[in-house]
Structure 1
Amino acid sequence: MSTVIIADDHPLFLKGVRSFVEEYGLQVLGEAFNGHDAFELIKAHEPDLAIVDLEMPLMTGLEVAKEVKTVGLGTKIIILTFHKEIYLAQEADNLNLSGYLLKEFAIEEMKRCLDQVIAGQQFFSENLYPKITEEFSLLTDAKITPSEKKILRLIAEGLDTRQIAKRLFISDRTVEKHRSNIIQKLQLDKKTNALLLWAQKNKGLIF
């Protein structure tokens, strides 16, 4: 029987997850209401799986996953979240996590997720993919050049025009021209920080 630790700071949701995984046939070794306790339980019990909420006090689900990886534990991590931001799913993928499950679709996707993860595969909620496809299409259709993508990456990091110019050894004017072209291609509002918000929201597409 596969073993699991579950963690979520919402008691009702935690209870629901526990009920589901026990009915599925997993042995629950412990549950936590914050990320720190979740990590300590994973270290203590080394379960086959850990199902952890993305947003928890003390440590996020992704921070728990990073620590598990850092200390070399073999526990497979499944993230549970309401967040559909692509850069978060991309970060989970970069960490080689086993699953990224959206809470609003958990009832219909949980069994399939567990089936695939226990079989050694990854499961990322299928409800992410239409959004990913749409945003990749936007980036491609906008004909963003490699130079413009490089500018977007630095904008996403929070650098301003002068800092970007210094990093890339180009003039402030050249950076501003790139910014203007990107804003036009993506059809963003010129008078707000829309480009910064877009770049940070779509990190998964530009990194």
Structure 2
Amino acid sequence: MPEHPLRLMIVDDHPVVRNGLRGMFDGLPDIVVVAEAADGHEALTQARSARPDVVLMDLRMPGLDGVGAIERLRAGHPEVRVIVLTTYDGDADVSRALAAGVAGYLLKDAPREELHAAVRMAAAGGRIFASKITSQLVERLGPAPKAAPTPRELEVLRLIARGAANKEVARALLISETTVKTHLKHVFAKLGVDNRAAAVVVAMERRLI
């Protein structure tokens, strides 16, 4: 158990959902709900004062929606890990969330234990996606390409999967940020994706990392 409990914020426009999610985390020694928000704008305000480690974020909300909130939250607080928790699993929703840099994408029928594990994994730098989402993404991308990522490209991707930024990857591998970006560009092309989170999902599904 960490020295200090993980700080969790819940963002959903339905009070009953927020109450239900809070109840799922009540009593855990290592996770504490520090804030709730009913829309994206409120989430940004609460994040500044509550300083959460992880955010459970709904997608469809009035005003500023989930993806918009994620983009602004990541820009202002890149250390915060965001997990989408929604009833929507369409390609457009998933693609927008992945492009925004989420640490996970779960559906609202996820059991309590899966939510607990997802928050802990996200806080530790990992990523977690509902099996249905992963299957859809891999199916949409089609069969594995003939050109596989090189060992160096996989080293970069493993660090990205742990939540490292380009600068941190460059420092760890003793290469430049430009080289990191080049490796990622090649990985995206080989895996048939267009963003970091999708690359991690596909690489994990294909047991590359």
How would you bin the TM-score normalised by the shorter chain? 0.5 to 0.7
Write out aligned runs for 1:1-207 (5 A).
1-25=5-29, 26-107=31-112, 109-137=114-142
Aligned with 1:3: secondary structure?
Answer: strand
Deviation of 1:53 after TM superposition, in Å, equals: 0.9
Q: Any stretches of 5+ residues in structure 1 without a counterpart?
A: 141-204
Aligned with 1:59: secondary structure?
Answer: coil
Deviation of 1:98 after TM superposition, in Å, equals: 1.2
Q: Distance between the aligned counterparts of 1:8 and 1:62, measured in 2?
A: 13
Letter of the structure 1 residue corresponding to residue 14 of structure 2? H
**How many residues are matched?**
143
For the Cα contact (< 8 Å) 1:80–1:102, is it kept in 2?
yes
Q: Distance between the aligned counterparts of 1:32 and 1:111, measured in 2?
A: 19
Deviation of 1:73 after TM superposition, in Å, equals: 4.3
Letter of the structure 1 residue corresponding to residue 72 of structure 2? E
Deviation of 1:59 after TM superposition, in Å, equals: 1.2
Identity of aligned residues (%): 25
For the Cα contact (< 8 Å) 2:105–2:133, is it kept in 1?
no
Letter of the structure 2 residue corresponding to residue 9 of structure 1? D
Q: Distance between the aligned counterparts of 1:112 and 1:86, measured in 2?
A: 25
* Alpha carbons of structure 1 residues 72 and 206: separation in structure 2 relative to 1, 3 Å: closer
From the CA coordinates, give the structure whose radius of gyration is larger: 1
Deviation of 1:3 after TM superposition, in Å, equals: 0.8
Deviations 1:152-204 (A, max 9, x none): xxxxxxxxxxxxxxxxxxxxxxxxxxxxxxxxxxxxxxxxxxxxxxxxxxxxx
Aligned CA RMSD, in angstroms, stands at: 2.4
Q: Distance between the aligned counterparts of 1:94 and 1:66, measured in 2?
A: 9
Deviation of 1:108 after TM superposition, in Å, equals: 5.4
Higher helix share: 1
Deviation of 1:93 after TM superposition, in Å, equals: 2.3
For the Cα contact (< 8 Å) 1:30–1:41, is it kept in 2?
yes
Q: Distance between the aligned counterparts of 1:81 and 1:89, measured in 2?
A: 10
For the Cα contact (< 8 Å) 2:85–2:106, is it kept in 1?
yes
For the Cα contact (< 8 Å) 2:8–2:55, is it kept in 1?
yes
For the Cα contact (< 8 Å) 1:9–1:56, is it kept in 2?
yes
Moved over 6 A (4+): none
